[in-house]
Amino acid sequence: MSISHEEQRDKWNEEHRHPFALLQMDDHNPSSSVGLYVDFLKGKGISQAIGVEMGCGKGRNSIALSKENFVSHIEAFDFSYVAISTAKERAKEEDVRKVHFAVMDATRHWMFPSDHFHFGLDCAASTDIESPEGRQYAIEEMFRVLKPGAYALCWAMSERDEYHILMRAQFPAEEQNAFYQPRTGKFEKVFTEEELDSLYAKFNVVEKRRISKVTRFFDTPYATDMHWRIYQKPIK
Ligand SMILES: C[S@@+](CC[C@H](N)C(=O)[O-])C[C@H]1O[C@@H](n2cnc3c(N)ncnc32)[C@H](O)[C@@H]1O
């Protein structure tokens, strides 16, 4: 079995339209990775910062970040038009003016200038790109659009996650540490530390943590051991 990019996007549109597998993606509260990132960025004394979020879903992370004083603007994008139309509605309801949401594919040219952003987010987005080439392209674009010295948060599912160990054993994909979600058919990749560092090879790793928590899949709790990593684009 393999899945095309269009099929993966259709499955995500369906998931965003009728939240089913990952109810937290429908949540208004940001991912737990974002609070830690805010603390990190504040610790670096960043101000009037502009950021970029790839695979922003319904916008919970960018909306929360935009409420921080040190943030002046965020470009947030997702390839799901369903997710982005909800993100725009939510931003309007909350009178959020600092985030621009757009439908854009992370595996195609990012419509932003090079060396532009002070910070970036890959919050469980790489995980959902179904080809190694597409994933690599997306992170190369993240590298290109960040300023030298800028940071990228990588929050990713890991090879130690309880649910993913089961899925990989029962429904493996062709790629290592990846599987097809049996109820939705969606491709998902989990990462070892080495795989993430290889994906982000052009960056320097400045923080690496494992965060153990309970995550719900199909509304059932499982132990996860997520990667929380901060990468920095080298200063030329
Ligand atoms: C696990 S969800 C995370 C959403 C969001 N970051 C959050 O934390 O709520 C992964 C997101 O990546 C998006 N996505 C997957 N592949 C993408 C691609 N090639 N380009 C842009 N977005 C993509 C999906 O539509 C989905 O919204």
Mean pLDDT, consecutive 10-residue stretches, the chain (236 aa), reads: 90 86 72 96 96 97 97 98 97 96 98 98 96 97 98 96 91 94 90 97 97 83 93 94
The whole-number pLDDT of residue 137 equals 98
Ligand 1 centre and the CA of 125: distance in Å? 5
Domains of the chain, CATH where assigned: 5-156+192-232 (3.40.50.150)
Atom 23, ligand 1: which residue's CA is nearest? 55
Per-residue CA distances from 142 to 3, 115, 191 (Å): 24, 10, 18
Q: Which atom of ligand 1 is nearest to the CA of 123?
A: 6
The maximal CA–CA distance of the chain, rounded, in angstroms, is 48
Ligand 1 centre and the CA of 77: distance in Å? 9
Please tell me the pTM assigned to this model: 0.95
Which residue, chain included where needed, has tokens 């790629």? 175
Q: Is the CB of 106 under 6 A from ligand 1?
A: yes
The whole-number pLDDT of residue 20 equals 65
Ligand 1 centre and the CA of 184: distance in Å? 15
Atom 10, ligand 1: which residue's CA is nearest? 125
Please provide residue 26's backbone torsions phi and psi, each rounded to the nearest 5 degrees: -95, -5
Which parts of 29-80 fold into alpha helices (H)?
32-43, 60-66
**Measured in whole angstroms, how far is the alpha carbon of residue 30 from the centre of its chain?**
12
Give the tokens for residue 134: 């597409």
The whole-number pLDDT of residue 49 equals 98
Q: Which amino acid is at 105?
A: D
